[in-house]
Amino acid sequence: MATSNKVELAEALALGPPWRHLCYAMLYAPSPQALFGGRIPLRYAVLMYMRFDGRLGFPGGFVDDHSPSLEDGLNKELLRKLGEGVSTFSMATTDYRSSLSDARAKVVAHFYVKCLTLEQLQAVETKAPLAKEYGLEVGPAWELLPLPSFSTLCPSQCLGLV
């Protein structure tokens, strides 16, 4: 969303078709653990995943137009992408933080934040590989990059030298 503008939730919900809604959730938990033999304490554990473009991101995605609310749509999306580990909690309106709109793409992105226990977060992480859509968003890097042709690697001038 290169040209995004902050938008209030009520204003975003009033947008009709062809606007689409994306919902993302930051799931985190306080953590008593420490790194490097206890020298660097960790304050929180945050759940992120590898996106299709190789960047880290928060779980979520496009909300179905038939969902009664953004939160219901986000809960369904989290269940599809993260599996049964998310059944111990649900996203609520109190977890909503902000929205950004992109008029050119006709998309509004909504951001939610949920504090879990460390056990809940670990259960989500453990059960995620069993989810219906786990790993479908990410493929091998060579499938994303176009391979150069032989003529690009070896221009016609060098063919006579071989």
Rounded distance between C-alpha atoms, residue 81 and residue 48, angstroms? 12
Name the pTM for this structure.
0.79
Pick the CATH number of 5-159 from 3.40.50.11540, 3.50.50.60, 3.90.79.10, 3.20.20.140: 3.90.79.10
Domain ranges of the chain: 5-159
β-strand partners of 57 = 49
Assign residue 135 a region (left: φ > 0; alpha: ψ between -120 and 50; beta: otherwise).
Answer: left
Q: What angle do CA 113, 95, 8 make, to 5 degrees?
A: 100
Rounded distance between C-alpha atoms, residue 73 and residue 76, angstroms? 5
- The predicted structure's pLDDT at residue 136: 67
Q: Give me the tens of pLDDT residue by residue for the chain, a chain 162 residues long.
A: 457 899 999 999 999 889 999 999 999 999 999 989 989 999 999 999 887 788 899 999 999 878 899 999 999 999 998 999 999 999 999 999 999 999 999 999 999 999 999 999 999 999 988 887 776 665 554 455 454 444 444 444 544 444
